[in-house]
Amino acid sequence: MSKTIIVTGATSGLGLALIGALKAAGYAPILTGRSAEKVRALSAEMGVPGVTLDVSDPGAIQRVVPEILAAHGPVHGLINNAGIWLEGDFETHRPEEIRSVIDTNTTGTILMTHALLPGMLARGTGVVVNTVSTGALYCRKLISVYAASKWAIRGFTGCLEVECAPKGVRVMGFYPGKIDTQMYESAGIERDLEVAMSPEEAAKMVVFMIDQKDMVWSQVSGRSIRDYQ
Ligand SMILES: NC(=O)c1ccc[n+]([C@@H]2O[C@H](COP(=O)([O-])OP(=O)(O)OC[C@H]3O[C@@H](n4cnc5c(N)ncnc54)[C@H](OP(=O)(O)O)[C@@H]3O)[C@@H](O)[C@H]2O)c1
């Protein structure tokens, strides 16, 4: 039987590419996203189950994860991929924008892991991949809140890695540079994505990390060679 893997934020970009790559690799991905309409259309197009799930809503996580488990049985993997971008001088950000980034990128990742990890630990097997960012490896101006949301996940991922590996569960972090997705545009930011890697290239790496059953790929980072100009 195929291994079930939940992907959050799978209605575009890297998440959607992951659905295709996981399916091609023989896994049983579950496409989740915050827009019911997009989830419905894309799950039909990709031929995979789709579930509406806004990871910034703790109540939704509490309600939806048990529904997924009831419908699909044990979940082998979780890819915490949902994320939003915020860029600009810190003092110009509205408090609700700041909350939204932390609620989605940070608390969403932690609570999704909290909901699914116990089952993996009980079975002594499983995998959690957190999509972090090169923004959590160094400091640069104008991304303080996004960086904070991802630096928190860098710490979370590293600590859980050493806590869970002895129990058979691999918790890993993926730290990509620029990916050619709609993340910046959705945040109202213009970015030259000619130099970015494709979502498919990034997805291939994540599937490789998951596939290597005896390996914990701790902090996997990379960017397109075009991005070194
Ligand atoms: N693009 C880059 O250069 C880059 C670089 C490093 C790391 N990353 C990380 O890669 C991950 C994927 O981003 P992407 O580049 O593929 O961007 P994207 O195309 O904008 O995809 C982000 C996905 O997350 C979803 N999402 C946003 N808020 C959500 C919420 N509250 N609940 C559930 N889903 C939510 C979006 O849904 P909608 O379709 O409804 O908007 C979308 O499906 C993010 O964690 C991002 O931080 C991206």
27-78: per-residue pLDDT in tens?
999 999 999 999 999 999 999 999 999 999 999 999 999 999 999 999 999 9
Q: What percent of the chain has pLDDT over 90?
A: 99
Query: pLDDT confidence of 129, banded at 50, 70, 90?
Result: very high
Q: Indicate if ligand 1 lies below 6 Å from the C-beta of 173.
A: no
Average pLDDT for the chain: 98
What is the number of residues in the chain? 229
CB proximity list for 103: less than 8 A, separation 6 or greater: 56
The predicted model scores a pTM of 0.99
Q: How far is the CA of 186 from the centre of ligand 1 (A)?
A: 9
Q: How far is the CA of 184 from the centre of ligand 1 (A)?
A: 9
2-40: burial string, b at 16+ Cβ within 10 Å, e else = ebbbbbbbbbbbbbbbbbbbbbebebbbbbbbbeeebbe
Q: Indicate if ligand 1 lies below 6 Å from the C-beta of 55.
A: yes
Q: How far is the CA of 166 from the centre of ligand 1 (A)?
A: 31
Q: Is the pLDDT of residue 134 over 90?
A: yes
CA distance 68 to 65: 5
Protein residue whose Cα sits closest to atom 45 of ligand 1:
83
CA distance 30 to 51: 7
Which of 225, 75, 87 lies closest to 150 in space, CA to CA?
87
For a pocket test of ligand 1, which of 14, 39, 85 has the largest count of ligand atoms closer than 8 A to its C-beta? 14
What is residue 166's DSSP assignment? Answer: G
- How far CA 96 is from CA of 2, 139, 151, in Å, comes to 40, 23, 20
Q: Indicate if ligand 1 lies below 6 Å from the C-beta of 38.
A: yes
- What is the pLDDT, as a whole number, of residue 27? 98
Q: Is the pLDDT of residue 1 over 90?
A: no
Query: pLDDT confidence of 107, banded at 50, 70, 90?
Result: very high
What domains sit in the chain, N to C, each tagged with a CATH number? 4-228 (3.40.50.720)
Protein residue whose Cα sits closest to atom 46 of ligand 1:
83
Q: Is the pLDDT of residue 229 over 90?
A: no
For a pocket test of ligand 1, which of 183, 197, 205 has the largest count of ligand atoms closer than 8 A to its C-beta? 183
Residues with a catalytic annotation lie at: 146
Q: How far is the CA of 160 from the centre of ligand 1 (A)?
A: 22
